[in-house]
Amino acid sequence: MGLFGSDSVPPNQLLKINFFDVVVFTKLDFGWLVYNFLSHLLLKNYRIILYKQLEGRWHYVRLSTTIEGQLLSEMGICGQLPNISQSSTLPQEVAPDQYLRQTAESWNAQGYEKPAQSQLQVMTLHFQMRRWTGYPAGAPWYDDWTTGYIDPILELLDKTCNGIPRGNERFSGNYLHYFVIFNTDLALESVEQIAAAAPVKFLLDIHFGRREKQVQIPIDPNVPEYLRTLFRIVEKSARSIASELPVLFQGDPLQPELLPEARFRTRISGEKARYFRQALKEKWNFDDNFWDPLTQVSPQEVVFLNGMAEEKKQSITTLLETTIDQPIYLLDCEEGLFEIDFGQVFSGSHEGIVFDETFSWVIYFSHHYTITFGGDWLVPAVKDLYTGEEEKLNAW
């Protein structure tokens, strides 16, 4: 029988309800709703990928939890999309990361593990670009390079569990990205297809080996020989240490990987990106590089803070959400230009600037962890937020 009776109860009896029963039901129902709501908020996306070599080919099992409370198990051959996919509901009595670890342990007992570096090949993507001084995202070719090559390569290697990023470096027009590879043939085929489809071509050399491809850092010929020799010794030592770090500091193979929150973040490129960069240069004198308003480079009034408390950041986020009715963007000096959501304004640590298409306001983050605000309405709002704490404004 339901709360208000059943069809067999006479209509005049439907409203004869015990008040205590209603209150108890309401409390239980509300508590259940709150519990499920909080559980949903606390869920995170975790992932563990384990590998096993069968008949000369590496196979993977990718285990992922979702904020919807599901465990996704995907299996396949490295270099290919999964051919088996299963989904199940996470038990409420066990934390998602703990349950993920328990599931991974059962696969580990079947021979799935994290292989040693010596068992695999390293793929080096060596791009030779026009020389550029400053942050990479400021280079005129950066957007075409990332959207045509780097982003699709990273996405494909991740989807097919065929590449683990092993770092990157850049110097004197050489941009190198390193990946641990499970299936070299399929990795080579995939990268070559992506390079062939890229609308703007860049000089790319693909190298496979037990170690990263070594490219000697050029030294000015005017440097004395003894200093050149010393530099080469330091360079060799640094590379040796870097290559051995994964062996010296091995991680827990069954430690769940916390994935970034699935927030909106879309790369902006092409003509729109060029327009944004030019407008920031004209209106704020920001040229995709370090921006120091203390030296009067800003054409408008700004106010900066040497760090902010979380509640202050939330106040500014709320102000932006209630004031701005159009998309907002982040020009990250290292990673490029993206459309983001309001919850990402203060997330992460980067050198970059947040703005919208009016360019009437900006928020700039420096590698010194200072936060600078600009705009006719935003600067007064920040000053009001720090009423009684004026000593924190424009102070190192």
Q: Which of 258, 69, 71 is nearest to 61 (CA)?
A: 71
**Do 269 and 382 fall into the same domain?**
yes
**Do 280 and 341 fall into the same domain?**
yes
- In the predicted structure, residue 83 carries a pLDDT above the cut 50: yes
**Do 292 and 205 fall into the same domain?**
no
Q: What is the pTM of this model?
A: 0.75
- In the predicted structure, residue 29 carries a pLDDT above the cut 80: no
Among residues 178, 197, 215, the one where a domain terminates is 215
pLDDT of amino acid 294: 62
**Do 281 and 369 fall into the same domain?**
yes
Instruction: Kindly state whether residue 316 falls inside one of the protein's structural domains.
Output: yes
Instruction: Kindly state whether residue 229 falls inside one of the protein's structural domains.
Output: no
Render 245-283 in DSSP notation, one character per residue.
Answer: HHHHTPPPTTPPEEPPP---EEE--HHHHHHHHHHHHHH
Instruction: Kindly state whether residue 343 falls inside one of the protein's structural domains.
Output: yes
Q: For residue range 166-180, what is the model confidence (pLDDT) as tens digits?
A: 888 888 889 999 999
Structural domains counted in the chain: 3
Classify residue 375 as exposed, middle or buried by CB count within 10 Å of its CB (0-12, 13-18, 19+). Answer: buried
d(CA 379, CA 166): 42
Q: For residue range 240-295, what is the model confidence (pLDDT) as tens digits?
A: 655 655 544 457 878 888 886 645 678 998 899 999 999 999 999 888 777 877 66
Among residues 184, 215, 246, the one where a domain terminates is 215
**Do 189 and 269 fall into the same domain?**
no
Q: In terms of pLDDT, which residue wins out, 364 or 368?
A: 364
User: Residue 394's pLDDT band (boundaries 50, 70, 90)?
Assistant: confident
Domain that holds residue 144: 118-215
Paired sense of beta strands 70-77 and 265-267, if any: unpaired
Distances (CA, A) of 196 to 94, 125, 148, 204: 47, 15, 10, 11
pLDDT of amino acid 6: 37
Instruction: Kindly state whether residue 292 falls inside one of the protein's structural domains.
Output: yes
Mapping DSSP to helix (H, G, I), strand (E, B) and coil, where does residue 300 land?
A: coil
Specify whether the CB–CB gap between 349 and 337 falls below 8 A: no
Instruction: Kindly state whether residue 159 falls inside one of the protein's structural domains.
Output: yes
pLDDT of amino acid 171: 85
pLDDT of amino acid 288: 77
**Do 270 and 369 fall into the same domain?**
yes
pLDDT of amino acid 235: 61
* Domain CATH code at residue 151: 3.30.70.100
Among residues 215, 237, 253, the one where a domain terminates is 215
Angle between helices 184-197 and 151-159 (to 10 degrees): 150
Quick one: average pLDDT of 19-27? Answer: 36
d(CA 194, CA 160): 15
Half-sphere exposure of 120 toward its Cβ, with a 13 Å CA cutoff? 23
What average pLDDT does the chain have?
83
Structure tokens at 302: 């700004």
**Do 32 and 150 fall into the same domain?**
no
Q: What are the residues facing 51 on neighbouring strands?
A: 60, 113
Instruction: Kindly state whether residue 49 falls inside one of the protein's structural domains.
Output: no
Whats the size of the chain, residue-wise?
396
- Sheet strands (E) in the chain: 46-54, 57-65, 70-77, 84-89, 121-128, 163-171, 174-181, 203-209, 257-258, 265-267, 302-305, 328-332, 336-340, 352-356, 361-365, 371-375
pLDDT of amino acid 221: 72
Instruction: Kindly state whether residue 111 falls inside one of the protein's structural domains.
Output: no
How much of the chain exceeds pLDDT 90, in percent? 54
**Do 304 and 384 fall into the same domain?**
yes
Mapping DSSP to helix (H, G, I), strand (E, B) and coil, where does residue 166 land?
A: strand
Instruction: Kindly state whether residue 64 falls inside one of the protein's structural domains.
Output: no
User: Residue 63's pLDDT band (boundaries 50, 70, 90)?
Assistant: very high
